[in-house]
Amino acid sequence: MKVIIIGASHCGHQSALELLDKHPDADVTIYEKGDFVSFLSCGMQLFLEDKVSGVDDVRNFKPEDIEKRGGKVKSQHEVLSFDADKK
């Protein structure tokens, strides 16, 4: 099974975890258009209030977290279209 996930925020992260847990052999790739994988939008407040020391910590996960479960993460890859019929 080959799955692509568009966007590496909360939804993309949770989808990848669920798929990799239930289907360890699935070929899962997350495409993220930004250069910062898994920006935690609700963490902005914590950063501005100095409750999080580094901006790099304002995220759900790092690419390595998905890669060690067998998934792939491609940042700076904007999906412009996809052909669901032809997979």
Ligand X SMILES: Cc1cc2nc3c(=O)[nH]c(=O)nc-3n(C[C@H](O)[C@H](O)[C@H](O)COP(=O)(O)OP(=O)(O)OC[C@H]3O[C@@H](n4cnc5c(N)ncnc54)[C@H](O)[C@@H]3O)c2cc1C
Tell me which residues are annotated as active site: 10, 42
Beta carbon nearer to ligand X, 39 or 70: 39
Torsion of CA 64, 68, 74, 80, to 10 degrees: -130
One DSSP character per residue, 7-76 reads --SHHHHHHHHHHHHH-TT-EEEEEESSSSTTB-GGGHHHHHTTSSS-GGGSBS--HHHHHTTT-EEEES
State which residue has the least CB distance to ligand X.
7
Whichever of 25 and 81 has its CB closer to ligand X, that residue is: 81
Question: Cβ of residue 70: shortest distance to ligand X, in angstroms?
Answer: 21
Residues found near ligand X in the complex (CB under 6 A): 6-12, 31-34, 39, 41-42, 44-45, 78-79
Between 2 and 25, CB nearer to ligand X: 2
- Give the shortest CB-66-to-ligand X separation in angstroms: 14
